[in-house]
Every structure is written in C-alpha cells, then in structure tokens.
Structure 1
C-alpha cells in the first residue's frame, strides 16, 4: 500500500470480509440466547448486516475492486471468541449477558472500522460513499445501544442474581 486510496480500498475489503463472517455467526449467537429480546435484536442485526454487505458490494463495484481479497482476521478472532464462549457450560442468564458482551465487542470493532472508512472516503472526495458508510456506522451505533439497553434493563441483573 502506497496511498490513502490503497488503504481505503483495503479497509473496504476488510469490512466486506467482516460482514460476510458476521452473517454466518449471528444466527449461532441468536440460537443460543434464551432471552426473546436479545434473540430478536441479534436477528434484526443479521438483516441489517446483510444490507451492510450489499452496500459494500455497491461500493466495491464503484471503486472497481473485489469485495474480499483476504479474510478479516480481527472479525475472525472476535467470532472465534464468541463461539468459544457460547459453548461453555453456564447458567442461561449468565450466557445471555455474555452473548451481549461478545456481540458488543463485535459492534465496537465495526464502529471503529466504519468510522475510519467513512473518514477516508471523505478525505478522498468520495462524499456519496462516505454518506453510505456513515449510514452503516449509525446503524452499528444503534445496534450497540440496543444491546446495552437489553443488558442494563434485564440481563445483567438476572445474571447477577445467579451469584
């Protein structure tokens, strides 16, 4: 990589891979949840993630690049952690609180990645791409907020009562 353009394209490809991996992982997390609101939030985010991937496909087409050149190792690691966690033997309330924690780690990675990509797009004069990435960034923030509310209103308290 020699230019900001090269770095930007790499970021888009990384996000593309991350979203593809997440589409496979979210149903597993939702299925392990015992909390109806958490399961619904994860399934809703799965649908959003599919939209995010379609947006990235459009951006790749516009830039004339392939979507996935390499696997996003950060997302791979986050998903591996989440999959390992949901296989542990624990109380269901604790599992649900932990699923929120694992999902929020993933959301925080996406927030960081989309924020960076949107900034690079703006710097490179791709204002329409920056707007698209900002829309996705806003949805990632919203998903994170929804998970926080689910945890704070019920799941953390229920997990605490298992002590």
Structure 2
C-alpha cells in the first residue's frame, strides 16, 4: 500500500467540504421556509447566496490543485442536517423552532470554520498561495455568519423560544 501524504489528505478534505457545501446549499431553503423570525430567514437566504460563491471558490481550489471538483459524502454534515430536519419536524409551529434551527446553523458554521481553517493551513504548507487566499475568503465569511447567528440568538431568537418578547 502506497504511503499517503499531506497532498492526499488535502484532496480528501477538499472533496468532503465540497460535498458539504453543495448539501448545505440544497438544505438552506428548507430551513428558511421553516423559520419564523424574519431576520433568521434573511440570514439563511444570505448564507445560501454566500454558499454558492463558496462552491465556486472551491472549484477554483480544485483547479489550482490540478484535480477535478468532486464531492465525497461527508458524514458530519449529513448528521447535522439530519438533526435540523428533526427539529423542523418536532418543533414545527413552536416558539422554539427558530432557536433549534439557529443552533443547527451554528453547528454547520463551526464545522465549516474548522474545515476551512485546516484547508487554508494545508494549502499554505503545500505552496498553493492562490488557494490560501480563496480559502481564507470563505473562512472570513463563515466567521461573519457565525457572529450574525450568535447576535440573532442573543437578541431575539432565544428569548422568543422562552416565550418572552424580544
């Protein structure tokens, strides 16, 4: 068996996150429809639009790396999305649904932040300077989205879940 190197690991994780982003793009409209808070709906829509750009950047990273853009099933994102779907089913019409959807969205963000941070570091080690810039751009977007979701949770969504006026 041939020994695996960082290049192999980078490519494997790149395929994983590419799959995840495409899955997220398909799931966000469903979360948007299930959300009750207008600002949360808008946050989901904004993130869907950003995700489309992130997918395009990932395709460029594949090109820079000299590989075809292909996805590999990501068990982590599948699990997070499954939890979100359970929340949609179990809390539909409840004042707590937005808090549950927001928590799911933050789990997605934290997964993405971890992956993009790692990919950016590895791209730097591999001398893929252009890929570093693209991955950093996405990493910054994911961080801003996480901050926005935290702000929504703290200022409105969690209070609504308690039944208190925001």
Give 3-state SS (helix, strand or coil) of 1:54's partner. Answer: helix
RMSD value, Cα: 1.3
Shift of 1:32: 0.2
3-state SS of paired residue (1:71): coil
Q: How many residues align?
A: 162
Whole-Å separation in 2 of the counterparts to 1:130 and 1:46: 22
TM-score (norm: length of structure 1): 0.94
* Correspondence 1:74 to 2:76: yes
Q: Structure 2: which 5+ residue stretches go unaligned?
A: none
Shift of 1:91: 4.8
1:128 aligned to which of 115, 122, 130: 130
Distance in 2 (CA, whole Å) between partners of 1:7 and 1:90 is 40
Q: 1:11 and 1:47 mapped to 2: Cα distance?
A: 23
Instruction: Tell me the equivalent position of 2:7.
Output: 5
Deviation at residue 74 of structure 1 after TM alignment? 1.0
Whether the aligned pair in 2 keeps the contact of 1:26 and 1:43 (CA below 8 Å) is yes
Q: What is the distance in 1 between the residues matched to 2:98 and 2:86?
A: 14
Residue aligning to 2:20: 18
TM-score (norm 2): 0.93
Q: For structure 1, which runs of at least 5 residues remain unmatched after alignment?
A: none
The superposition leaves residues 5-25 of structure 1 with CA deviations (integer Å, 9 ceiling, x where unpaired) of 111111111110000100111
